[in-house]
Structure 1
Amino acid sequence: MNDYLERNRANWDERAPLHAASRDYGVERFVAEPDYLSEVVRFDLPRLGSLAGLRGVHLQCHIGTDTLSLARLGAVMTGVDFSPASLEEGRRLARLCGADIAFVESDVQAADTRLPAGSFDFVYTGIGALNWLPRIEDWARVVAALLKPGGRLFIREGHPMLGAVSESRQDALVIEQPYFERAEPLVWEDDGTYVETTGKLAATRTHEWNHGLGETITALLGHGLQLTALEEHDSIPWEALPGHMVREADGEWRLARDRWRLPLSYTLQAVKRPGRDRPQERLQLVS
C-alpha cells in the first residue's frame, strides 16, 4: 500500500469516533428522528430528484450519515470507504436506525474490483472527498465502471479555486497552493479536525491533492460520461477560510463580505452514455 494511503487512513480511523460523537454529524438526531437528513444532503435535495427504488453507491462515505440520508430518500444504498473505523460507525448508525445499507471497505480507486460492474443507477460523492486522491483519472474510471448505461453521477465538492487559497492568511485571500493536479502531494500536519471536539489526533500527517475543474470534467468525459449540470456555489459546509467566513442558518459557511470574489463549492452531474461498458467479470458484493 502506498505511504500516503496508510497515513490518510490512520488519520481517518482516528477521526471516525470523534465525528460520530460530535454534534456536527447529528448521530443522535438520526436515531431519534426517522426523517432526519444530513445538512449536506439537504443542500443537495433541489438537485437530486427522486431516488425512490434506485440503486446507489456512495464513494468515500465516511461514517455514513449522507449514505443513510440517501437511503431515507428511497435509494438502495451501498457505502464505500477505506477506513474500517469509519465503516464500523456507519454500520452502527444504520443498525440503530433500522436501515439496510451495505458498507464495503475499499480504497475508492479500487472500488470497481469490490463491487459489481455496471450495476448502479447513481454514484454519489459528497463534499471533501476528491482532495484525498492523487489522480482524478482513476476516480473517473471507477465512476464509469460502476454506473449502468444511463446511470448518473452526482457530486458536490469543494471548488478547486478554494483549494488554491491559503488557509492561514486572515488578512487577505491569497493564492498559495496549486490549482491544477500535481504529482507531489500537499502535506499537512494537524492534530485537530473540522468538528467541535476535545479529542486530539495522533496520526497528524495527511497528504492531499487539488484537481482543477477542467481536469475533473475532462476525466469524466474521457470515460464515457456526458456532463448534464454544473453549478458553482458561494458556500461550503465547514469554515474553510478561518477569519473570512460566517455560518448562516442553512449550516453553510460563506465569505463574510464580497461573496462574488470566490466560488467555494460546485455541484456536477453527469450521465454514463450507452455502449460504454467493457467486458469484465461481474464480482459479488462483499459487505
Structure 2
Amino acid sequence: MTAPGGSEDYRVVNRANWDDRAPAHAASPDYAVQRFLDDAEFVSDVVRFDLPRLGSVAGLRGVHLQCHIGTDTISLARLGADMTGLDFSGASLAQARELARRTGADVDFVESDVYEAAEVLGEGGFDLVFTGIGALCWLPDVRRWAAVVRRLLRPGGRLFLREGHPMLWSLADVGPDGRLVVEHPYVERAEPTVWDEDGTYVETDVAFVHNRTLEWNHGLGEVVAALLDEGLRLTQLVEHDSVPWDAFPGHMERIGGGEFRLADRPWRLPHSYTLQAVLGG
C-alpha cells in the first residue's frame, strides 16, 4: 500500500521510525517504566489526566489501538479492564510485553496495522476502544479509522479518545521573530506532511537512524463526523489547554502531571481534546 498521492508505503516508513525509538522510549524517565515496577497501583499520566472523564472501566473488555510500549494499556488493566493492546511496531510490542511480564499485568499485545484490527481481533467484541494521545496523525484516512472503531465495538460500547488538537498540529515555529505561526494543514489532505527529525518527544540521548515520518492532520469536525456517520453517538467532547509532551520546545511550560502548555497566552487555542462516543442508542 502506498501513501495517498505518493509512492512510499507510509506504514513501512513510520514503522521504521517507531521501531528505532521504542527501546529509547522504554528507557526514558518520561514513560516512567520504573514507577510501574515499583508501585502496583501506578497509572500513566495520560490515563490519570482523564480519570474524571473516563469513569469506571472495571470489568470492561477493552482494546487500546496504537498502544506503543503499553504503559497506557497496562494502566487501564490496573483500573480493572480486560485489555488488549494493538500496534504495528514489533519493537514497541516487545517493550510492552516485557513490561507486562515484569509487572504481572494480564494484557495481550497483538501486532497489526490499526486498519486491520477488526479482522485480527474480531468484530463486535469490545466494550471499550481506547486511543491515546498522538495516534490519529499516523493515519491517512480518519473515516476508515472510525469504521474500524465501529466494527470492534459491541452495541452500547464506547470509544474513548484523547488526542492532540488539530489546531496545535497546524502550528510551526517558523516566524522570523520566533513566533508560532499556522503553517501546516488543519484538515485531512491526501498528501502527507513529511518530517525528517532526528529527535523524539521524550528525554533521551540516543542517536536514531530512521528519522523520516509521513503524517496527516484531521480536523476536529472531520473526526466527529466520521464517528457519527458510523453510528456512534457523541457523549463527551472537552478541549484542553495542555498536552502531555513538550510540543514546541522553548515555547512551552510544565504545569504538573506530565502536562505542558504554551507559556505565552495559552488561551489562544486548544492544545488537546478528549472525546467519548457510544455505539448505538
TM-score, with normalisation over the residues of structure 2? 0.95
Q: 1:124 touches 1:155 (CA, 8 Å); kept in 2?
A: yes
The percent of aligned pairs where both chains have the same amino acid is: 65
Equivalent in the alignment of 2:194: 187
Identify the match of residue 258 of structure 1 among 265, 271, 274.
Answer: 265
Question: Which letter maps to 1:183?
Answer: A
Identify the match of residue 77 of structure 2 among 68, 71, 81.
Answer: 71
Q: Give distance in 1, aligned partners of 2:67 and 2:45.
A: 15
Q: Give distance in 2, aligned partners of 1:243 and 1:96.
A: 36
Task: Say whether residues 1:197 and 2:179 are aligned partners.
Answer: no
Paired residues in the alignment total 274
Q: Shift in Å at residue 163 of structure 1?
A: 0.8
Deviations along 1:120-163, whole A, 9 cap, x unmatched? Answer: 00100000000000000111000000001000000000000011
Question: Which letter maps to 1:254?
Answer: R
Q: Give distance in 2, aligned partners of 1:86 and 1:58.
A: 14
Identify the match of residue 32 of structure 1 among 31, 38, 42.
Answer: 38
Q: Give distance in 1, aligned partners of 2:237 and 2:173.
A: 26
Q: Give distance in 2, aligned partners of 1:261 and 1:22.
A: 31
Q: 2:174 touches 2:180 (CA, 8 Å); kept in 1?
A: no
Equivalent in the alignment of 2:5: none
Unpaired runs of 5+ residues, structure 1, are 275-287
Q: Give distance in 2, aligned partners of 1:120 and 1:168.
A: 43
Q: Shift in Å at residue 116 of structure 1?
A: 1.7
Identify the match of residue 181 of structure 2 among 162, 174, 180.
Answer: 174
Q: 1:57 touches 1:122 (CA, 8 Å); kept in 2?
A: yes
SS in 2 for 1:172: coil
**Distance change (3 Å), C-alpha of 1:10 and 1:221:** same
Task: Say whether residues 1:20 and 2:46 are aligned partners.
Answer: no
Question: Which letter maps to 2:19?
Answer: D
Task: Say whether residues 1:59 and 2:75 are aligned partners.
Answer: no
More moved, 235-244 vs 12-21:
235-244
Question: Which letter maps to 1:28?
Answer: Q
Q: Shift in Å at residue 167 of structure 1?
A: 3.8
Structure 1 segments (4+ residues) deviating >6 Å: none
Task: Say whether residues 1:246 and 2:253 are aligned partners.
Answer: yes
Q: Give distance in 1, aligned partners of 2:248 and 2:55.
A: 31
Equivalent in the alignment of 2:125: 119
Equivalent in the alignment of 1:96: 102
More moved, 230-239 vs 168-177:
168-177
Q: Give distance in 2, aligned partners of 1:157 and 1:11.
A: 20
Q: Shift in Å at residue 243 of structure 1?
A: 2.1
Equivalent in the alignment of 2:227: 220
Q: Give distance in 1, aligned partners of 2:103 and 2:36.
A: 7
SS in 2 for 1:34: coil
Q: Give distance in 1, aligned partners of 2:91 and 2:248.
A: 28
Equivalent in the alignment of 1:156: 162
Q: Shift in Å at residue 171 of structure 1?
A: 2.3
Q: Shift in Å at residue 231 of structure 1?
A: 0.4
Q: Shift in Å at residue 168 of structure 1?
A: 4.4
Deviations along 1:71-96, whole A, 9 cap, x unmatched? Answer: 00000000000000000100000000
Q: Shift in Å at residue 174 of structure 1?
A: 0.7
Q: Give distance in 2, aligned partners of 1:23 and 1:165.
A: 27
Q: Give distance in 2, aligned partners of 1:237 and 1:50.
A: 22
Unpaired runs of 5+ residues, structure 2, are 3-8
Question: Which letter maps to 1:123?
Answer: V
TM-score, with normalisation over the residues of structure 1? 0.93
Q: Give distance in 1, aligned partners of 2:147 and 2:171.
A: 28
SS in 1 for 2:181: coil
